[in-house]
Structure 1
Amino acid sequence: MTEKPLTLPQYPFPVRPFAEPPEAYAELRAKCPVTLVQLPSGDTAHMVTGYDEVIAAMADRRLSRAALREPGAVRTVKGEDFSDNPYNLLNQEGEDHHRLRRLIAPAFTPRKAEKWRARVEEIAHELIDRLEAGPRPADLHHDFAAVLPVWVISEMVGAPVEDRERLQEWTDRLVSITAHTPEERLAARSESAEYVAGLIARRREAPSDDLLSALIAARDDNDRLDERELVWLGINLLVAGHDTTVSAIVRALYQLLRHPDQWKLLTENPDLVPGATEELLRYAPPSEIGFMRIATEDVELAGTTVRAGEGVIPVMHAAGRDTRHVSRPEELDITRDDAVHAAFGHGTHYCPGVGVARMELQVAFGVLAQRLPTLRLAVPAEDVEWLGGLLTLRPKALPVEW
């Protein structure tokens, strides 16, 4: 068992220049892939940085998200946050979790994702048309990366795309760690629930060919979920269905433009898009922060005994730089064939929307490379500012020219 150091690292680590993972991750992976850290709440947890260890932690059902709601459980922050909501799909385990995932799974299969590809390409082209008609430098984050995923999930679920700014503002508060207060997080929970309840009421009166209408039918006709579950499935889809994809797109585009040789390679070789997508998910996944679990019994993890009741945080960003699996992990190489990553999670909480998310990323990179091959950063890469304190990582703006 590892010994508790006298001074614990403070988690989460500060955002580094270029949005690179903390330097400490490499040392920890090599020497101590499971180490104690201190959380903003003052509690401690075991941070996991090695790829094998991250996968093992995510797969171990003795490490529970639902246990975060137990009295006295380890907390990431003081006050309520998204882990306190029993209706959030990410916080559920067992049969209820499986039942709700089964309801939404048919909408996100790889086959369904491919049916959406043509529409997503249309949206991407329209957004680029707007970029070309607008001022320069353009903000590739605000006017492309932050719009494409929310437009797509809004059409899939059945929400007005014009509400994207409200959805993003609620999302920022819902997934906040230190960027917002507990009161702001709770207000976002209430406001977003009221919004989705309104969408449900309108869809009951006028059903459509969208996912929310299908879920309403499952509620009203088959009694397969209750009203609160219906509302929160809607919120889960709208929030989780776009936030991580926004971050994945903008982080990847930043890294591609920061490495112009890789961007040029992609513009000249469209067939590289699928492999480049996996490499970018490895090199710059949407979040540097992992979702904490609580051990429901003693668990052995990489030689460390995690006691029942202790917290475990598998860090996805750290896992993708593991030298045991990836050669030259600090190098972005869109031609590599060993781009292993944990960007979509693993185990029972593996992202149910992975097929659609992966397709959106491929479309975003492919269409931009086709339409704007001379795309480049309009400011030095080190001047791009990154927003910390959230579960996902993204810049304040991404100014570009072409």
Structure 2
Amino acid sequence: MSVNDSTGACPVRNEPRIPLHRAITGEPGPPTLTELPDGTRAWLVSRHHDVRMVLSDPRFGRSRLYAADAPSLSGVPDLVNNPDLMFNQDGPDHLRLRRTLRRAFTPRAVARWQPWIAAIVDQCLDQVARREPPVDVVAAYTLPLPVMVISRLMNLDASARSRMRHWAEHAFSDGSHDEDEVAAVLEEFAAFGAQLLAERRRAPGDDLISGLVRAADEEGGIPESQLVQLVCGLVVGGHDSTMTMLGNSLLYLLGERPDCWHRLGADARAAEVLADRLIHLIPLGDDRGTARHAAEDVEVSGVLIPAGSMVLADCLLANRDPEVHPGEPFQDLFAPLEGPTLAFGAGPHYCLGAWLARLELRLGLHRLAARFPGLRLAEPAGGVEWRLATTSRSPRRLTVTW
């Protein structure tokens, strides 16, 4: 989540049995007033050009959403709406934090990771192959894979790996957890993040956190609380979003597009194109839009949005805008995207982890299809139990056979 610096949205719950790619309703249109579940009024922008403008224009920011007099974006404490989170900073404060990570996630840096990420994928597939089908592919593959990747990047030990899901379920709480319980878990999680930073200051290594500490010291002026939240965001967000993408993609491919499975496993280049299209089309969760605050009166496509307004930039609808992405979006999954995607956001908060997310999804799907060309769902797709969270939603279990 903190790797993906494009969260912080306002969730609107849909019927939990509707696959995510079917949960998107409406058509892109001009800015319009809408209402959040708690009654807060907000401007919804949904056309590609308008969404890109809102996400890129400095007059639309995040930090003001957490002012004392602002309406709450969450009913319970969570990591996503912590004011110290990088995504909830604006201007120089945001840039200082972002610069500490930017070099770590360049396309060139991520490309150097491909061999060992591929080795982790194969290690996970070996574990799957040793099991007797049917197998829950979430427990056996879509969760262990990103956990192992982020653990390698951050040099986390087994005790931290075993707590990741516990921390993530509370950091991205769906509202079903008791408020005091969530607060206690987040306090424990923050203590872990602070301890991790202290350890890497004492004994730096060649891992992501050590690099973050060095870059933060060079940058100067970054509050420790913001660094702690950055580390916590990397730990849980670094695996949760990939787990979600893999699970949702597999449900769609095996449930509705089994005709694509053979080519996905046989053609690495086709798998790359397909991964980009799935990222573009299948959202991580139920977010109605990424929230921003208008610092002054701003005109968007001829509509005046008054100062002080909350604005929701709906990247999901924008990715369906026929002006940029014409045609039936799911028709040819192996066709390159017609235009730029907003799946990773835009502007100053564009997702730092975009290249890593693409690589993990591409390798994870391609090598799974190559290893198990006869993979298929063992239970009807309509019976899937969904895992709900603040910014993501994916199958809690997905039973497959071969």
Structure-1 separation of matches of 2:272 and 2:334:
10
Counterparts of 1:352-363 in structure 2 under 5 Å? Answer: 352-363=352-363
Please say if residues 256 and 263 of structure 1, whose CA atoms lie closer than 8 Å, have aligned partners that are also in contact.
Answer: yes
Structure-1 separation of matches of 2:22 and 2:53:
21
Aligned length in residues:
389
SS of corresponding position for 1:272: helix
Report what 2:273 is aligned to. Answer: 275
Structure 1 stretch displaced more, 170-179 or 281-290: 170-179
Report what 1:396 is aligned to. Answer: 396
Structure-2 separation of matches of 1:101 and 1:175:
22
SS of corresponding position for 1:293: strand
Please say if residues 151 and 161 of structure 1, whose CA atoms lie closer than 8 Å, have aligned partners that are also in contact.
Answer: no
Report what 1:194 is aligned to. Answer: 191
Are 1:225 and 2:211 an aligned pair?
no
Give the aligned CA root-mean-square deviation in angstroms.
2.4
Counterparts of 1:237-276 in structure 2 under 5 Å? Answer: 237-258=234-255, 259-276=257-274
Unmatched runs of 5 consecutive residues or more in structure 2: 1-10
SS of corresponding position for 2:19: helix
Tell me the CA shift for residue 389 of structure 1: 4.7
Structure-1 separation of matches of 2:179 and 2:36:
15
Structure-1 separation of matches of 2:110 and 2:65:
33
Tell me the CA shift for residue 365 of structure 1: 1.5
Tell me the CA shift for residue 119 of structure 1: 0.6
Counterparts of 1:299-318 in structure 2 under 5 Å? Answer: 299-318=298-317
The match for 1:72 among 69, 73, 82 is 69
Q: Which has the higher contact order (CA 8 A, sep 6+)?
A: 2
CA displacement, residues 240-274 of structure 1 (integer Å, 9 cap, x when unaligned): 32222221122112212121012223123222011
Please say if residues 282 and 321 of structure 1, whose CA atoms lie closer than 8 Å, have aligned partners that are also in contact.
Answer: no
TM-score (structure 2 length as normaliser) = 0.88
The match for 1:146 among 128, 143, 146 is 143
Structure 1 stretch displaced more, 300-309 or 207-216: 300-309
Structure-1 separation of matches of 2:165 and 2:58:
32
Structure 1 stretch displaced more, 75-84 or 351-360: 75-84
CA displacement, residues 94-136 of structure 1 (integer Å, 9 cap, x when unaligned): 1121111111111111111111111111111111111111242
Report what 2:327 is aligned to. Answer: 328
Report what 2:209 is aligned to. Answer: 212
Structure-2 separation of matches of 1:119 and 1:83:
30
Percent identity between the aligned chains?
33
The match for 1:125 among 116, 122, 125 is 122
**Structure-2 change in CA distance of 1:36 and 1:169 (3 Å):** farther
Structure-1 separation of matches of 2:330 and 2:145:
28
Structure 1 stretch displaced more, 16-25 or 307-316: 16-25
Residue 269 of structure 1 aligns with an amino acid whose one-letter code is: D
Tell me the CA shift for residue 81 of structure 1: 4.1
CA displacement, residues 264-312 of structure 1 (integer Å, 9 cap, x when unaligned): 2312322201111111112213234133111111222344332222211
**Structure-2 change in CA distance of 1:176 and 1:397 (3 Å):** same
**Structure-2 change in CA distance of 1:15 and 1:58 (3 Å):** farther
Tell me the CA shift for residue 23 of structure 1: 5.5
**Structure-2 change in CA distance of 1:220 and 1:109 (3 Å):** closer
Structure-2 separation of matches of 1:228 and 1:23:
36
Tell me the CA shift for residue 88 of structure 1: 0.5
Unmatched runs of 5 consecutive residues or more in structure 1: 1-9
Structure-1 separation of matches of 2:78 and 2:351:
20
Structure-2 separation of matches of 1:312 and 1:181:
29
Structure-1 separation of matches of 2:23 and 2:190:
36
Counterparts of 1:22-171 in structure 2 under 5 Å? Answer: 22=23, 24-26=25-27, 29=28, 32-78=29-75, 80-82=77-79, 84-171=81-168
CA displacement, residues 62-108 of structure 1 (integer Å, 9 cap, x when unaligned): 11111111122233334544455232101001112111111111111
Structure-2 separation of matches of 1:176 and 1:379:
28
**Structure-2 change in CA distance of 1:389 and 1:310 (3 Å):** farther
Tell me the CA shift for residue 330 of structure 1: 4.5
**Structure-2 change in CA distance of 1:387 and 1:319 (3 Å):** farther
